[in-house]
């Protein structure tokens, strides 16, 4: 039984030098390029070998893409987030980092963005796509907290 379809990979195809084609249980099909990660993170450097890269397989539950059991694997949630970001969307990790950076609970973040806690939870879990307007609201909220506020009387009209 699939409990978390947005983080369960049902099919996988590895295309050298660094591309994975992924199909998730919730119906999303995504392509992710791991080239930058392979170059940036030493632990992933072995994946630069095309003979190893094509050996990608799914773990028994579809929660990980595995090359070497317990040594070289990537979680479905991270791969989905990367695929969303690479396609121009807003991944849940970005929203989590915003909350962490601003030390916000779910309730506080939902209130700051004018959302219900349930809607925010759908965005954070990856069950619902994050609208760009929500990300812009995050940036605006954060900006209003970090820049000096001007009093209306300080405006100069000319």
Q: What pLDDT, in 10s, does the model give residues 121-130? A: 999 998 899 9
pLDDT at residue 158 in the model = 39
The radius of gyration of the chain's CA atoms, rounded to the nearest angstrom, is 20
Q: What's the pTM value of the predicted model, to 2 decimals?
A: 0.82
Greatest CA span in the chain, whole angstroms?
Answer: 68
Strand, helix or coil for residue 96: helix
Per residue in 1-32, pLDDT (tens digit) is 567 899 999 999 999 999 999 999 999 999 99
CA distances to 12, 108, 147 from 122, rounded to whole Å, are 25, 16, 30
pLDDT at residue 146 in the model = 78
Per residue in 32-68, pLDDT (tens digit) is 999 999 999 999 999 999 999 999 999 999 999 999 9
CA distances to 59, 65, 110 from 113, rounded to whole Å, are 37, 34, 5
| Confidence category of residue 152, pLDDT binned at 50, 70, 90 | very low
pLDDT at residue 149 in the model = 55
Domains of the chain: residue spans and CATH: 5-86 (3.30.2020.10), 92-146 (1.10.260.40)
Per residue in 101-112, pLDDT (tens digit) is 999 999 999 999
The pLDDT of 76-84, averaged and rounded, is 95
């Amino acid at each position: 039984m699939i409990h978390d379809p947005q983080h369960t990979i049902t099919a996988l195809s590895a295309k050298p030098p660094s591309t994975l084609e992924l199909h998730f249980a919730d119906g999303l099909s995504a392509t992710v390029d791991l080239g930058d990660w392979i170059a940036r993170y030493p632990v992933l450097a072995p994946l630069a070998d095309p003979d190893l890269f094509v050996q990608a397989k799914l773990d028994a539950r579809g929660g990980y893409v595995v090359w070497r059991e317990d040594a070289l694997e990537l979680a479905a949630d991270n791969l989905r987030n990367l695929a969303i970001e690479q396609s121009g969307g807003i991944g849940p990790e970005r929203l989590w980092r915003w909350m962490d950076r601003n030390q916000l609970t779910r309730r506080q973040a939902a209130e700051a963005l004018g959302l219900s806690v349930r809607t925010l939870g759908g965005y954070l879990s990856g069950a619902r796509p994050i609208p760009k307007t929500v990300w812009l609201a995050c940036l605006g909220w954060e900006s209003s907290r970090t820049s000096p506020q001007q009093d209306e009387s300080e405006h100069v009209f000319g």
